[in-house]
């Protein structure tokens, strides 16, 4: 009597995890030989899925076995989602950005980096899902060299780990990033937090004491809002709102810390910076509302600025 189809599916996923290229195709074919030859039902569905894995593996090999994969930067900052396969990165990206992408409960659903724009803190930020990094990525296993090349241009990293899975697989992915000499500001997203057991998140915090850990469930809007706030802090940007004729623009200008009134004006138009005589400021950097300041005045997050021209 064949083993239950659910047990076989779990076994298949475990045997395919971490395998790529010819090795993965050989394993798929071995699994197909072990499958009962039913023409319909769950075993037929498993056969169809496994057969599809052969073509997907070939496509993935062509897609990522290159030294670089271009991801065009958009938005004020680029944040990369990094972690082992099958920890919910695609679902998280979809929940944060409303992008429609393929998701699945098996490894390597995502074959290439997937960028998506989302508004965080009122500012457009680009999130990029990096396909699962496995051991040997720096030696180009699983197309890792190209994926790490994308990661080098990111401003910061969201390490993703399923809350109930423990730290081992994420430690492997993080080690590959460090071996590649990539150093970025980062935090850890504990995904599927709604299914986490008592102490799971605490164990992740103990395993990664240098990272802020943010538990998240895509079914919980409050946890997603907490993650958005953490991502905004990770960007390190400050937001400045322009005021003109007594009306404040609702869309902020994203600026680097230490930006001055001159930088604010230049971000609007270079001619405005050339005509600048100063500004009036409301907010954290002002000693009082409407304070008149010079061009070298440093703005802070949440400031409202009215540009004055000669």
Pull the structure tokens for residue 269: 């138009």
Residue 85 pLDDT > 80, yes or no?
yes
Domains 78-235 and 238-309 share a fold: no
| Per-residue model confidence (pLDDT) at position 15 | 78
Residue 159: beta bridge partners? 82, 188
Pick 85 or 7 by higher pLDDT: 85
Q: Are 54 and 131 within 8 A, CB to CB?
A: no
Is 60 in contact with 107 (CB distance < 8 Å)?
no
pLDDT at 271 over 50: yes
pLDDT band of residue 21 (cuts 50, 70, 90) is confident
Residues in the chain: 310
Q: How confident is the model at residue 40 (pLDDT cuts 50, 70, 90)?
A: confident
Alpha-carbon torsion (211, 214, 215, 216), positive or negative: negative
Under CATH, to which class is 78-235 assigned? alpha beta
When pLDDT is averaged across residues 212-230 and rounded to a whole number, the result is 96
Among 128-142, 197-211, 252-266, which is the least confidently predicted range? Answer: 128-142
pLDDT at residue 62, rounded to an integer = 55
Asked whether residue 142 carries a pLDDT value surpassing 60, the answer given is yes
Strands annotated E in 150-233: 156-162, 185-191, 213-215
- Report, as an integer, the average pLDDT of 35-41: 78
Instruction: Give the CA count within 13 Å in the CB-facing half-sphere of 116.
Output: 21
Mean predicted confidence (pLDDT) in 262-275: 91
Mean pLDDT of the chain: 87
Q: Is 170 exposed, middle or buried (0-12, 13-18, 19+ CB in 10 A)?
A: buried
Domain 238-309 -> CATH class: alpha beta
pTM of this prediction exceeds 0.75: no
Residue ranges per domain, the chain?
5-64, 78-235, 238-309
């Amino acid at each position: 009597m064949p083993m239950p189809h659910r047990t076989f599916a779990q076994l298949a996923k475990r045997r395919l995890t971490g395998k790529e290229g010819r090795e993965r195709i050989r394993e798929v074919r071995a699994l197909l030989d072990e499958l009962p030859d039913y023409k319909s039902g769950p075993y037929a569905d498993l056969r169809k899925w496994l057969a599809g894995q052969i073509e997907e593996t070939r496509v993935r090999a062509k897609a990522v076995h290159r030294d670089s994969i271009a991801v065009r930067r958009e938005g004020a900052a680029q944040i990369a989602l990094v972690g082992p396969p099958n920890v919910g990165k695609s679902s998280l990206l979809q929940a944060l950005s409303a992008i429609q992408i393929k998701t699945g409960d098996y490894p390597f659903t995502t074959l290439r980096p997937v960028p998506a724009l989302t508004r965080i803190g009122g500012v457009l930020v680009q999130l990029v899902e990096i396909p699962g990094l496995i051991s040997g990525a720096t030696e180009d296993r699983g197309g890792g060299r190209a994926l790490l090349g994308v990661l080098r241009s990111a401003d910061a990293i969201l390490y993703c780990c399923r809350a109930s899975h423990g730290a081992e697989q994420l430690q492997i992915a993080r080690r590959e990033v460090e071996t590649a000499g990539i150093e970025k500001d980062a935090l850890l997203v504990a995904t599927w937090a709604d299914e986490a057991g008592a102490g799971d998140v605490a164990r992740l915090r103990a395993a990664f004491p240098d990272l802020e850990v943010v538990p998240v469930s895509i079914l919980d809007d409050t946890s997603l809002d907490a993650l958005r706030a953490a991502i905004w802090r990770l960007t390190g940007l400050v937001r400045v709102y322009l005021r003109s004729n007594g009306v404040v623009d609702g869309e902020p200008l994203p600026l680097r810390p230490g930006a001055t009134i001159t930088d604010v004006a230049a971000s609007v138009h270079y001619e405005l910076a050339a005509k600048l005589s100063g500004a009036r400021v409301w907010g954290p950097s002002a000693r009082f509302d409407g304070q008149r300041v010079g061009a070298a005045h440093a703005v802070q997050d949440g400031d409202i600025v009215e540009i004055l021209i000669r």
